[in-house]
Structure 1
Amino acid sequence: MTASTTLNARSATDAPVDKRGLRSAVTSAVIGTALEWYDFYIYATAAALIFNKLFFPDLSPLAGTLAAFGTYAVGFFARPLGGIIFGRIGDTRGRKFVLVVTLLIMGLATMAIGVLPTFQTIGLLAPALLLTLRIFQGLAAGAEFGGAVTLAAEYAPANRRGFYASLPALGVCIGTLSSAGIFYFVSSMMSEADFLDYGWRIPFLLSFFAVAAGIYVRLKVSESPVFEKLKAAGNVSESPIKDMFRESGSRFWMAFCARFAENVSGYFFQVWTLTYITTELMVSRSVGLTGVLIGASLGLITIPAFGALSDRIGRKPVYLAGTALFTFGVLPYFWLLNTKDPVTIVCTIVFAMGFSNYAMLSTQGAFFNELFTARTRFTAISIVRETSAVLAGGIAPLIATGLLAWGNGSYLPVAAYAFVVGMITLIGVAVAPETRGVSLDRT
């Protein structure tokens, strides 16, 4: 059977839908993903706004921001290793085990940041410990989202897979909403001095509640029916990484390219924009945080809507529309930000998040699951997402900050960078096959 024929095999042989298991799997995925992105955006927001003052006070404001974003980027360099380690375990031992372990690691690392002494207390040891905890966050995040969407997709009925596989992405909105909301609330309820003294720790320590809830739910979830079928047939891969490259072929690189615009735009809109409007445009940080809050709230509607739309018209049209909006809308994005009008800035961030980034993110869960075979799916999705993240989202704020400085405050180099990233994804998705409705049981 040819690769094309295999890829287009429909889902007639998929197992009957376990509705109770589907609900548990989706709930588990949403909670875990919410914690992952709460932790990552808490760190990203802190890196954008305050970590330069707390951990790199001897540097200039620009150098301190670059150093803070540097520790942020290190977490992304750890993610591919986490994806390789935990993705392999997910394909050999099962999806559930990995999702419990990664959630625990992520939560403990985040809480530890909340009690970390700053440079003023322990000197250079402070940024060193911050870097170490960031690495643990990266290792855990390397398989979290990939495992969550794999579990949700493998439980979902084929004709509604786009919808159900999009729901873990709601965790991204919930995590972003929670992190931005808590930062906004805590910073607005105290003075700048108190916030820098102890207030910044509160959002990190509050992740305890999400960890407790997530572990409880995930321990109760049954293993994926697709993995159970593989295990019963004795068809579990012993070398998922080797088998992945052998079985996926060019589809690995199609997915790799598809990640660029989605990953860069997420951190571009929700992280770096905060730095740009506060340091370059001298606009209050509360304006940017308000935009992120409302944008994440809008995602609670647009993500499942885009997922359901991909069940009707296909994965590629939805993904390409979101990518095109990012690629060709980046210049208008800057024009609108540069008005310095708070309402315009908020609306711009909201629209960019809700209709560009979330169109790609919502479709990605089903699209990637359908591109890869059952034996190596967890490994493939984790490695694709996390290796691309190193070259995309992880260094995006760092590159954008450097380009802004190189351009003496001009946004044009940053816009050119975003355009190139968008074109990579447009090409990758355009040459990929349409995957809507393929069987996830295929090996």
Structure 2
Amino acid sequence: MTLIGEERAQTDIAHRKDVRRVVLSGYLGSTIEFYDFILYATASSVVFGPVFFDGLDPTVALIASYATFATGYVSRPLGGILFGHFGDRVGRKKMLILSMIVMGVVSFLIGLVPAIPTWGALMLILLRAVQGIAIGGEWGGSALMALEHAKGKHRGFAAAFANAGGPTGALLGTVALSLAAMLPREDFLSWGWRIPFLFSAVLLLVGLFVRKRVSESPLFEEALQAQEEKKSTRQPIPLFAILRRPKNLLLAGLVVTAGFVIQALFSTFGVNYAVSHGVTESEGLRAFAVSQFFSIFAMLGAAWLSDRHGRKKIMLAGLVGMIVLTYPVFSLVGSGNAMLVIVGFVLALSLCQALTFGPMAAFVSEQFGTTSRYTGASLGYQIGSLLGAGFTPVIVASLAAAAGGAVTYVMLFLVAMCLLSLGALYFVKETKDYDLAQTN
């Protein structure tokens, strides 16, 4: 082998190691994000009502608890703008380290909130808002770092690890809360629920160890160098560059909305619905945990297929599948049989939602050029999360309460949101062959 060949081989090996490290960093980041998400989502269903809204009617307490859950989603777009702006200007890596620190610290602090009805609820809202800002910048950076490092025909699969960490974190969070829920009811509501939140500090340390070792995005560095060579040309603020042509931003947000609806509905209302129809809390949480385990592999498989057949086709299959399976899934989840409940959660989350989420990281990031990609991807994703997940628990709980516990309106809401995302998907171009090196 010639000297040039040896150097090229060494460079290729170093590049592959770097890509693996970046992918692992994104995976751990989204694991922490969704660990925090599922802890809060599930706790809002089974803990926060009786602990922080004691004295209210149980249904009113549940809706009030879900309202604190929505706070984090309201602040996410702001986080997407802030972290996206500096991520597009000073670098992806710095913003990702900061977002991870804030996410982990806030989750830890939630575990320390005192059980004081009014003040405790206000502390939850404040911490949830700060956490939402950090999460608003986490996903976009994780996804596009993997996308921009991989670059080639496997970039959808690489970027999908930013989403595959989601079910991993959800699985860990559900298992942690399920173990805590095995305590006597009084002990669980008094102090047991806090342990999983405090454990987030361990995940934070592991994630930071990996994230500090990753390199900056090569495409970002190239774009930054090109900008410095054109100092005479004033560069637009990333957000303004996105808003000049808002079509991609709005369509991307609407396309991913239904995936978030499925996620939020079944991680909160779905668990509560299963429990109210005959299974124990541990069995309901276990069903969700099983679905999340299978979702890890299903999302990566969906992303792999999207690299070959296109993002749109795979996401289309997930949305249509959810429309067709809505009634059977709710029948299974409300059957009162623990095994059938597992099947219902697997169909909704491990199949339909995984098909929409697998290609999502690449799909959203590919809508924008390099110099505004962090801002565009973060904001588009968080618009979808706000519309799809932020208010879904409150909406479906209110719909079910208005119908006397029946879920007809809940099912219609789910189908309507899937149709909305399908309509937006129709107007979006296929992006799997898009040239990532474009700066605008």
When normalised by structure 2's length, the TM-score is 0.93
How far off is 1:18 after superposition? 2.2
Structure 1 unaligned spans of 5+: 1-14
Partner residue, 2:242: 244
CA contact (8 A) 1:158 1:437 kept: no
- Distance in 2, Cα, partners of 1:318 & 1:194: 45
Separation of aligned partners in 2, 1:21 and 1:363:
22
Q: How many angstroms does 1:264 deviate by?
A: 0.6
CA contact (8 A) 2:306 2:314 kept: yes
After TM superposition, give the deviation of residue 313 of structure 1 in Å. 0.8
Which amino acid letter does the alignment assign opposite residue 150 of structure 2? A
Could you say what the CA RMSD is over the residues aligned between the two structures, in angstroms? 1.6
Moved more, 329-338 or 145-154: 329-338
Deviations 1:195-240 (CA, angstroms, capped at 9, x unpaired): 1111111000000111111112111111101100011111695400
Counterpart position of 1:221: 214
Q: Which residue in 1 is equivalent to 2:105? A: 108
Show CA shifts across 1:296-352 (max 9, x none): 111222111111111111111101001111223212211222322221111110121
Counterpart residue identity of residue 143, structure 2: V
2-side partners of 1:194 and 1:176: how far apart? Answer: 23
Does residue 361 (structure 1) correspond to residue 357 (structure 2)? The answer is yes
2:307 aligned with 1:314? no
Contact 2:271/2:288 (8 A) holds in 1: no
Deviates more, 1:367-376 or 1:312-321: 367-376
Contact 2:140 2:365 (8 Å CA) reproduced: no
CA contact (8 A) 2:367 2:377 kept: no
Equivalent residue number for residue 39 of structure 1: 36
Residue from 228, 232, 255 that aligns with 2:225: 232
Q: Decide whether the 8 Å contact of 1:158 with 1:438 is kept in 2.
A: no
Q: Which residue of 1 aligns with 2:140?
A: 146
- One-letter identity of the residue aligned with 1:25: V
- The correspondence for 2:90, drawn from 83, 93, 107, is 93
* Structure 1 partner of 2:409: 413
Paired with 2:312 and 2:362, the residues of 1 have a C-alpha distance of 11
Aligned match of 1:183: 177
Equivalenced residue count is 423
Displacement of 1:287 in angstroms is 2.1
Deviation of 1:243 after TM superposition, in Å, equals 0.6
Verify: 1:124 aligned to 2:118, yes or no: yes
Where 2:336 maps in the other structure, the secondary structure is coil
Q: Measure the CA separation in 1 of the matches of 2:176 and 2:83.
A: 30
- Once residues 33 and 333 of structure 2 are traced to their aligned partners in structure 1, the CA distance between those partners, rounded to angstroms, is 29
Contact 2:253/2:382 (8 A) holds in 1: no
TM-superposed deviation, 1:382:
1.0
Greater CA deviation, 39-48 or 335-344? 335-344
CA–CA distance in 1 between the matches of 2:211 and 2:255? 29
The counterpart of 1:61, out of the listed 58, 61, 66, is 58
- Mapped to 1, the partners of 2:153 and 2:143 lie a distance apart of 16
Q: Secondary structure at the match of 2:215?
A: coil
TM-superposed deviation, 1:80: 1.0
Q: What SS does the aligned partner of 1:115 have?
A: coil
- CA deviation digits over 1:232-265, x for unaligned, max 9? 111695400011123x542222202111111111
Cα deviation 1:282-301 (Å, max 9, x = unaligned): 43122221111111111222
- TM superposition shift of 1:139: 0.7
Q: Are 1:153 and 1:366, in contact at CA under 8 Å, matched by a contact in 2?
A: yes
What is aligned with 2:399?
403
One-letter amino acid matched to 2:145: L
Q: Please name the residue that 1:257 is paired with.
A: 254
2:193 alignment counterpart:
200
Secondary structure at 1:159 match in 2: coil
SS in 1 for 2:51: helix
Letter in structure 1 aligned against 2:288: V
SS at match of 1:220: coil
Match of 1:136 in 2: 130
Alignment of 1:328-343 (within 5 A): 328-343=324-339
- Is the counterpart of residue 293 in structure 1 residue 289 in structure 2? yes
Provide, for residues 54-96 of structure 1, a one-character-per-residue CA deviation record: whole Å limited to 9, x for no partner.
1000211101101110000011111111111111111111111
- Write out per-residue CA displacement over residues 391-439 of structure 1, whole angstroms, 9 at most, x where no aligned residue: 2211001100000011111111111111110001111112211111211
Task: Establish whether residue 302 from structure 1 lines up as the match of residue 315 from structure 2.
Answer: no
Aligned residue for 2:435, secondary structure, equals: coil
Specify the SS of the correspondent of 1:392: helix
Query: Equivalents in 2 of 1:128, 1:289: separation in Å?
Result: 27
- Tell me the alpha carbon deviations over residues 130-165 of structure 1, each in whole angstroms, 9 at most, x when there is no partner: 111111111111111111101110011421111111
1:32–1:144 Cα contact (<8 Å) kept:
yes
Match of 1:77 in 2: 74
Letter in structure 2 aligned against 1:199: G
Residue 40 of structure 1 deviates from its aligned partner by: 1.1
Distance of 2:355 and 2:80 partners within structure 1: 24
TM-score (norm 1): 0.93
What pairs with 1:356-395 in structure 2 (closer than 5 Å)? 356-395=352-391
Alpha-carbon distance in 2 for matches of 1:112, 1:339: 37
* Native 8 Å contact 1:237 1:243 kept in 2: no
Q: Runs in 1 of length 4+ with deviation above 4 angstroms?
A: 235-238
| Partner amino acid, structure 2, of 1:231 | L
* Secondary structure, aligned partner of 2:344: helix
* Structure 2 gap segments, 5+ residues each: 1-10, 229-233
